[in-house]
Amino acid sequence: MKGLTSKFKAVGALMILALILSGCGEEFLSALRPQGQGASDILSLMILSIAVMMFVFVVVMVIYVFVILKFRKKKGQEDFIPEQVEGSHTLETLWTVVPIILILILAVPTVQYTFSLVDTSPQVNAEGEEEDQIWVNVTGKQYWWHFEYEGMDVTTSQEIYIPTDRRVYLSLHSEDVIHSFWVPTLQGKIDVNPTGNRNEIWIDADKEGVYWGKCAEFCGPSHSLMDFKVVAVSPGEFEQWVKDMRNIDPEETPESEVATAGQEVFANNCMSCHANGTSPNKIGPNVSNFGDRERIAGVLEYNKENLMEWIETKGEEMKPGNMMTTAAYDLSDEELDQVAEYLMSLSPSEITPENAEDNEYIESDLSDLFIDQEENEDEGSEGESEGDSEGESEEDSDSNQ
Ligand code: HEC
Ligand SMILES: [Cu+2]
């Protein structure tokens, strides 16, 4: 009896634990708390398949218990052999047809979503017109992410900004090994391949906020540290951010003297790998808005101590195997302080992850941004039609060798 009560206790504890755990999951990270269309479609598929599985489980258990009770060996019937049924037409039809129906219930929406989740054709608005699309070229690298806004002359790393009123379309490729781009609260995963083919997906966020992204394909010793952020802001804020990012002058002298000295240190030791402004994709992240970052190198808490340690150690322990470890510089404590001060002063915009959740809905139809894109297309420059442009840039060609 004692054994039985303790078993009940154990089961009870497990059930309570399951209940508590099911309440877990953060809005910025959990696929079970979707904050965008893609993730909520995926969650509905999960719920559907769990419902089908529960149905099968319950039916099987009911029949099982019924059969055990009804046909168990009774006293005085030791030699009794029950009636043998073989080839029952009704039964065989039933257990063929029911699974087929169940599979169809699962398959139809699954196939439908498999296509719609990566359908990057333009959305049609209420007036029946095709919406202008924001395309971002995404490059995955060991162990960070680079983002180039097509036709907008905006480049950033680690943190991608999107407006909350529309889908943002991504064209992804890798410069080294296979990565996988995953923002659990917003969309499913998509592979990021080095072979020259670009995968495409869209993301959207219902409300302002910072959503965490992860690399979901093992890609080296710091794979688990290959984090990034999606910063969703209102359309007006997004427009402001794009304008601010476009106006960066990398030559501009910072306000403080220490930072000005740091600018010099940076130019002499770091510019071979890092870019400031809209210069193209380099070995290391673009630092144009490093002062606005939520994290250092995607994962470390943002403060000067961590930053100085990162620069001094080249992230050797903080992110093992990262490509900055090959840098040759050797800085004095003073120079470390200066360059850290400089990097933290790089804040071209008021629109930062910190105020992403202010819920100030600044209206804008973003049309200004797209006019610019069309101009670019007219000039026959890079704004050329996004998506299917395979390996269009120089960076692609040298990464494919
Ligand atoms: C050999 C190329 C190289 C050199 C030289 C280099 N870095 Fe880096 N740096 C990188 C790479 C690659 C990363 C990305 C590491 C990662 O996250 O995996 C990085 C990341 C960083 C980051 C984090 C960036 C972010 O967006 O969070 C900072 C800050 C940084 N480097 C500062 C410096 C400073 C300061 C110097 C010069 C004193 C410097 N780096 C020189 C390659 C380099
Ligand atoms: Cu990766």
- pLDDT tens digits for 241-291? 999 998 888 888 888 999 999 999 999 999 999 988 877 778 999 999 999
- In this prediction, residue 198 carries a pLDDT of 93
**Residue 1 predicted with pLDDT over 80:** no
Q: What is the mean pLDDT of residues 78-93?
A: 83
**Statement to judge: residues 149 and 285 lie in one domain:** yes
Cβ 131 vs Cβ 123: under 8 Å: yes
Q: Which of 274, 308, 309 to mutate to test the pocket of ligand 1 (most atoms within 8 A of CB)?
A: 274
In a domain, 300, yes or no: yes
* Ligand located closest to 275 CA: 1
In a domain, 33, yes or no: no
**Statement to judge: residues 113 and 216 lie in one domain:** no
Q: pLDDT of 166-223, one tens digit each?
A: 999 999 999 999 999 999 999 999 999 998 889 999 999 999 999 999 999 999 999 9
* Ligand located closest to 194 CA: 2
**Statement to judge: residues 111 and 154 lie in one domain:** no
Q: In what order do the strands lie in the sheet with 228-233?
A: 159-163, 228-233, 209-215, 179-182, 190-192
In a domain, 348, yes or no: yes
Lowest mean pLDDT among 12-21, 88-97, 105-114, 154-163: 12-21
- In this prediction, residue 224 carries a pLDDT of 94
| For ligand 1, atom 7: residue with the closest CA | 324
**Statement to judge: residues 50 and 154 lie in one domain:** no
CA 82 to chain CA centroid, nearest Å: 60
**Distance in Å, CA 33 to ligand 2 centroid:** 24
In a domain, 83, yes or no: no
Q: Which of 144, 155, 215, 270 to mutate to test the pocket of ligand 1 (most atoms within 8 A of CB)?
A: 270
**Six token digits for residue 15:** 């059930």
**Residue 13 predicted with pLDDT over 50:** yes
**Statement to judge: residues 257 and 370 lie in one domain:** yes
Q: Which residues line ligand 1 (CB under 6 A)?
A: 143-144, 157-158, 266, 269-270, 272-274, 283-285, 290, 293, 296-298, 307, 310-311, 315, 319, 322-324, 326-327, 329, 331, 339, 343
**Residue 116 predicted with pLDDT over 60:** yes
Lowest mean pLDDT among 5-14, 187-196, 340-349: 5-14
- In this prediction, residue 396 carries a pLDDT of 41
Cα–Cα separations (whole angstroms), residue 399 to 31, 119, 194: 33, 27, 8
In a domain, 32, yes or no: no
**Statement to judge: residues 109 and 196 lie in one domain:** no
Q: Which of 273, 304, 306, 322 to mutate to test the pocket of ligand 1 (most atoms within 8 A of CB)?
A: 273
In a domain, 318, yes or no: yes
In a domain, 373, yes or no: yes
**Statement to judge: residues 47 and 192 lie in one domain:** no
**Statement to judge: residues 199 and 271 lie in one domain:** yes
**Statement to judge: residues 108 and 200 lie in one domain:** no
| For ligand 1, atom 23: residue with the closest CA | 297
Q: What is the CATH number of the domain that holds 162?
A: 2.60.40.420
* Ligand located closest to 213 CA: 2
CA-157 nearest atom, ligand 1: 26
**Residue 401 predicted with pLDDT over 60:** no
**In the chain, % of residues over pLDDT 70:** 90
- In this prediction, residue 380 carries a pLDDT of 43
Q: What is the mean pLDDT of the chain?
A: 86
**Statement to judge: residues 309 and 184 lie in one domain:** yes
| For ligand 1, atom 8: residue with the closest CA | 324
CA 7 to chain CA centroid, nearest Å: 42
- The total of structural domains in the chain comes to 2
**Distance in Å, CA 152 to ligand 2 centroid:** 26
Confidence of residue 22 (pLDDT cuts 50, 70, 90): low
CA gap 163, 209 in Å, rounded: 10
CA-335 nearest atom, ligand 1: 38
Q: What is the mean pLDDT of residues 110-131?
A: 90
In a domain, 384, yes or no: no
Amino acid at 297: A
Q: What is the mean pLDDT of residues 349-355?
A: 87
**Statement to judge: residues 107 and 138 lie in one domain:** no
Gyration radius of the chain over CA positions: 28
Which residues are near ligand 2, the ion (C-beta closer than 5 Å)? Answer: 179, 215, 219, 226
* Ligand located closest to 174 CA: 2
**Residue 60 predicted with pLDDT over 60:** yes
**Six token digits for residue 71:** 């046909």
Question: Containing domain of residue 100, as a range?
Answer: 40-60+96-117
**Statement to judge: residues 113 and 234 lie in one domain:** no
